[in-house]
Amino acid sequence: MQVSTTKESLATPLGLVFGAADTRGTVPMLATVLMKTANDKLSMLCSDLGMVARTQTNCEIKDAGEIAVDARRLYDLIRAVPERQSLDLAVDGKGKLIVKSGRSRFQLPTLPAADYPRLTPKQDARVSVNINGKRLLEMVDQVSSAMAEADVRIIFNGMLVSLADGRLWLIASDGHRINITSEPIPGSETITKTEMILPRKSVGLMRRLLSHSDHVKLIIGSADLQLSLANGSLLFAKGIEGQYVSWGKVIPQSEQTATVDTVRLSTALAMIEAMVEDGGKKDALSRAVDITFGKGIITAQKGETALTEIEAACESDPVEISINIGYLRDAVSAIGVGAEGLTFGFSEPNKPITVRPQGAEYPLAVVMPMRR
């Protein structure tokens, strides 16, 4: 294999797939990037056996071929190359990858491309939908903050992707909060309900790939998901085994509402959080803040340390609910993007609250109260 390209043409696509490699594992091949030439393009692929990510870039192909090379070392080297610098990559007679840039020359060890592992979809019913890439990225951002990280309840360490009732649903929860978003998919009304749980690592890589394409084809199976982008990039990921929670039953039927300006609310919560001492996971109550919904006003208070009031469209008699300030700020940040106002739904103390954009049903965040 021998190709000529530039730093700009190589660094970005390599950076997109690099996250799929298993650079800390014990299997050397999984720490490599599979590089292959085809149709005047250089394809780069990484996998950790749980997912596969592939991108393509234009290049001048002088000799076709494929090779697996250390992903981290190559990525770090390409990033260190000066801007607007040309690059020549070639495999020598000893199987080494030679990288030339200007008057510099580097040699990287390789492994046989034929030994690179392949992942295949589970042979079951799979459904395919088309969606705008920017809209799908927006949906992922609306729910991903609610995902758990290294939770013993493995289903919470990912995002539920569901196609049901003619809509694409994304749901994430850590057991203390849940974020839900939805988008109608024309023509999918008769498709059988299909869903899978996408692992947290795959969600992160999905976000990076979506930031580089407008048109996306999403293929959903019961045990895996495939994302195909118009620019030739691809993500294939295995799902987390297990049954997700019945999220529809978690959404409370709120009796009262309060609508508030998004910017004012975000500013007020940031000031309150600045006064909260974080006791860590062992002292979650240290993050508790009392939110009081009352006629024309919402009050956020942390004991005698901090208090702030925000004007709100609310007709309720005072209702006080203790909420984790971090969870509430995450909900406001995720749900409030582009919304002038946010609507809280609440009923009584020790009951969950909901957060929605003013006048919309979704996206939606549900935050559980903290019991003292």
Q: What is the pLDDT of residues 194-253, one digit of tens each?
A: 999 999 999 999 999 998 878 899 999 989 999 999 888 999 999 999 999 899 888 988
Q: Is the pTM for the entire model greater than 0.85?
A: yes
Evaluate the omega torsion of the peptide bond into residue 363 and state whether it is cis, within 30 degrees of 0: yes
d(CA 329, CA 273): 9
- The answer on pLDDT for 190 being more than 80 is yes
140 pLDDT higher than 60: yes
The mean per-residue pLDDT over the stretch 129-154 comes to 94
Confidence of residue 155 (pLDDT cuts 50, 70, 90): very high
Q: Which of 96, 104, 88, 110 is nearest to 29 (CA)?
A: 110
Is residue 20 over pLDDT 90? yes
For the chain, the structural domain boundaries read: 2-115, 127-249, 256-367
Q: For residue 57, give every residue at least 6 positions away whose Cβ sits within 8 Å of its Cβ, in sequence order, or none.
A: 5, 9, 10, 12, 13, 41, 42, 44
CATH says 256-367 is which class? alpha beta
Q: Rounded to whole angstroms, how far apart are CA atoms 278 and 238? A: 36
Q: Contact at 8 Å (CB) between 74 and 226?
A: no
Rounded Cα distance between 32 and 252, Å, is 47
Question: Tens digits of per-residue pLDDT, 278-323?
Answer: 765 556 677 889 999 999 999 999 888 889 999 999 998 999 999 9
Q: Which two structure tokens, joined as six digits, stand for 11? A: 């660094």
Q: Which residue has the tokens 């996306």?
A: 216
CA dist., res. 234 & res. 66, Å (int): 18
Classify domain 2-115 at the CATH class level: alpha beta
- Report which secondary-structure segment, H or E, holds 325: helix 325-335
Contact 302, 295 (CB under 8 A): no
Question: Distance of CA 91 to CAs 108, 126, 356, Å?
Answer: 9, 40, 55
For domain 127-249, say whether CATH 3.10.150.10 is its number.
Answer: yes
> For tokens 């056996």, what's the residue?
49
Residue 49 — left, alpha, or beta (φ > 0 → left; ψ -120 to 50 → alpha)? left
